[in-house]
Amino acid sequence: MTDIKYAWSALGGDPALPARITTVEREGALPARLPVRQLARACVGVCALAAAELGAVRAGLDRVPEARVDDGAVATAFTSERHLLIDGRAPVSFAPLSRLWRTADGWVRSHANYPHHRARLLTALGLGEDARADDVAAVLAGRSALEVEDAVYAAGGLAVALRTPAEWAAHPQGAEAAALPLVERERTDAARARVLTPLDGTPLLPATGLRVLDLTRVLAGPVATRTLALLGADVLRIDAPHLPELADQHADTGFGKRSATLGLATGHARFEELLASADVVVTGYRPGALDRFGLSARALTERRPGLVVAELSAWGRRGPWGGRRGFDSLVQVATGIAVTEGCAREPGALPAQALDHGTGYLLAAAVLRALTEQSDEGGGRIVRLALARTAAWLTGADGGPARGGAVAGEAVPGEREVAAPYEGPGPWLAETGSRIGRLRYALPPLAFADGPRDWARPPVPWGSDAARWL
């Protein structure tokens, strides 16, 4: 089974449809020891196919439009945060205290991009808020990696010890993640089949008229909702007023969306008004974090029958780390990817935050497939994905497809083209003006017949829109 067929099967799609995907292969795109290019190609390919499938349903087409996935476009999109320029300025991806550190017995990776995460890291290490990287390095050099991992998480911060693939496989959370479906899919109620307004003309925008509440942060969730916005959805991102998003990060993932602030405790009535006419809710907070506000997937679908809820987590809902926060860089270190891409003495990294981007496109694809199913079967839907589960697919820990392509003797689905090597992002970059400045950005990698080529609007400043539907 190829990666594309594997991902499409996990989405519950018609096994004949991957033949509608043409892949354009370019050597040099996303170079790595692990098959990152194949995974990235599959995630984008099935997302484009899911969009084409929903578009065919809404436009009354007798055949699903052909989809095309180009390694060059995919490689550029998977590193979109590195290509963004705002008035000629390149964003800073990681804060000084977000990095790998040597410990007394190995390595640990911290994540401290947000001020509150930085403060909790320093508290766990017994350092003051004015501590610098040298101070952190000195403390960590005298402590074990596992001790640091436990102490920082106990303080509400983020740090994980470097593990080999074998060590992660033996860890209870590693076993839990590998045993999950790549895409968890659940029907929640018996709501009537969704009636979607017929579409005509071009571009074909399969999500036109759909309202998406975006309760996500960095990076996979916003990639998913950015993709739904590309396809015509009214995407309203909601953030707590006291937790501002990093401005550059918000710019990269904010294309096509609106951005509002709303306290979930004080703004409960307004949120319920939004929910009452929402079609999709996408959440990206750690499992259980939103439950106290009545925003668990089950509670949402009970109040809004027929709703599609898409949940994203770092480690999965269950297991000893089920309630922990996490980011792509941490998952790479915990799951053994950093050792595979480097070694235990000098850890490496993937050529992109591929777990984030790949899971984001899969999450968007899962939403699109749920909407297609609803148009025939009805019923609310919950879909769930986890970065650690995507990592298990990438590393082969889930027993999935033969890594890097098809099983010997099996034909690759669809057409295959071998194009010029990937020599840089140039052909897949664009520029536009915006309220936050002149932007250079990566174009969307989704391509299907008569589909959109770019977002309808640029990103807006964080929190600058009203919390209401258009």
Question: What are 444-463's pLDDT values in tens digits?
Answer: 999 999 999 999 999 999 99
For residue 411, the model assigns a pLDDT of 54
Q: What is the pLDDT of residues 262-292, one digit of tens each?
A: 998 889 999 999 999 999 999 999 999 999 9
For residue 1, the model assigns a pLDDT of 60
For residue 197, count other CB atoms closer than 10 A to its CB: 8
Distance between CA 244 and CA 267 in Å, rounded? 17
**Using 50, 70 and 90 to split pLDDT, how confident is the model at 141?**
very high
Answer yes or no: is pLDDT of 20 > 90: yes
CA proximity to 273, closest of 468, 53, 24: 468
For residue 101, the model assigns a pLDDT of 98
The pair of structure tokens assigned to 451 is 């589909």
Distance between CA 440 and CA 317 in Å, rounded? 37
pTM, entire model = 0.97
Distance between CA 329 and CA 317 in Å, rounded? 19
For residue 2, the model assigns a pLDDT of 86
**Using 50, 70 and 90 to split pLDDT, how confident is the model at 409?**
very low
Answer yes or no: is pLDDT of 407 > 60: no
Strand partners, 86: 89, 439
Which segments of 60-114 does DSSP mark as H helices, in order? 71-78, 80-83
- State the Cα angle at 121 between 116 and 122, rounded to 5°: 100
Report, as an integer, the average pLDDT of 222-242.
97
Active site residues: 356
For residue 412, the model assigns a pLDDT of 64
Report, as an integer, the average pLDDT of 296-324.
95
For residue 401, the model assigns a pLDDT of 74
Answer yes or no: is pLDDT of 400 > 90: no
Distance between CA 413 and CA 188 in Å, rounded? 32
Sign for the CA dihedral angle at 248, 254, 259, 262 comes to: negative
Strand partners, 381: 187, 308
CA proximity to 350, closest of 378, 370, 331: 331
